Amino acid sequence: MASPAYASESPRRSLEGIAWMVLTGILFVGVTAAVKHGAADLPAAESAFLRFAFGLAFLAPMTGTLFRTRLSRRQWQLVGMRGAVHALGVCLWFHAMTRITLAEVTAMNNLIPVYVTLGAVLFLGETLAIRRLVAVAIAFLGALLILRPGLRELSDGHLAMIFVAMCLAGSYLFAKRMTADLPASVIVAMMSIVVTIFLLPLAIAVWRWPTPGEIAWIMLIACLATCGHYTMTRSFAVAPLSVTQPVAFLPLVWSVFIGFFVFHEAIDVWVILGGCLIIAAATFIAIRESLLNRDRRVNNGTGPL
């Protein structure tokens, strides 16, 4: 997906983009902490369903646009497949949050762009240059440092996070296929609606009535997640990934501190080291993708002179 053509890449806009991305990281770490604190006793499928159900309220301003949008059969298939893999990924993510530390969840979340890179090669026909291949290898080395199979007992939460990254990477790739035909706002809105529908039967199967406190926490989670997607979009709009991506390490720092001081989780040096390797690899991939997209725009005569 091509990066937007930035009218100006002045220091002020770069700082604005970085500020939006820093705020995005704070919001998403807040989501993770809120799930761990306020929704840990709810079944994962129910928590995920309630988060998306409450999040539908934020789509109200888009009702008219959605009714006017006509999707082809192929587009409906892509929307459905994306909804299925995203729903599975969200369920697994909520499950992992109750099993492993904040730092482990945050670190392994950064595997998503690595799987996106591999998926683009396998399913979209993109090429994998040697430098990106090395970055992928470094990311998987980081994952091995976090998991350390054979050296410690792995929980189902660790396995869940591996599949979370795969599922959400698949969701991104489906979205990438749709961007040529549909506006981003419609793609996001349709994902929210379809994911909610897919999660409904899973939530019913394990349903227990949430307490008023749990409902309040889920509403907060929905609000934080929606605001996080908005601030991330603003960051992408004002500055290129090559500027904003290097601050991606900050959520790992915050999750370590929150995990230690709020949830009394031990600080695991191997998790931090592995997370740094994954973040470095993901940052390199994102910056390379941003630069390649810029070069394509210039070569096609569509970029700024």
- Which of the pair, 180 or 272, is modelled with greater confidence? 272
H helix intervals, the chain: 11-38, 44-55, 63-68, 73-97, 102-109, 112-123, 130-147, 156-178, 184-205, 212-238, 241-244, 250-261, 269-299
- Residues contacting 56, CB < 8 A, separation 6+: 192, 193, 196
User: pLDDT tens, 118-131?
Assistant: 888 888 777 778 88
Span 248-286, pLDDT tens digits: 788 998 899 999 999 999 999 999 999 999 999 988 888
56 within 8 A of 281, measured Cβ to Cβ: no
Q: What is the DSSP code (8-state) at residue 154?
A: P
pLDDT of 144 higher than 90: yes
End-to-end CA distance of the chain: 21
pLDDT at 286: 80
Provide the mean pLDDT of the chain.
85
Domain ranges in the chain are 11-295
User: What does the pLDDT read at residue 235?
Assistant: 82
How far is 219 from 213, CA to CA, in rounded Å?
Answer: 10
Asked if residues 272 and 42 have their Cβ atoms less than 8 Å apart, the reply is no
Write the single-letter amino acid at 191: M
pLDDT of residue 292: 66
Can you tell me whether residue 63 is helix, strand or coil? helix
154: Cβ–Cβ under 8 A, 6 or more apart, which residues?
147
Residue 9 has pLDDT above 60, yes or no: no
- Which is more confident, 42 or 301? 42
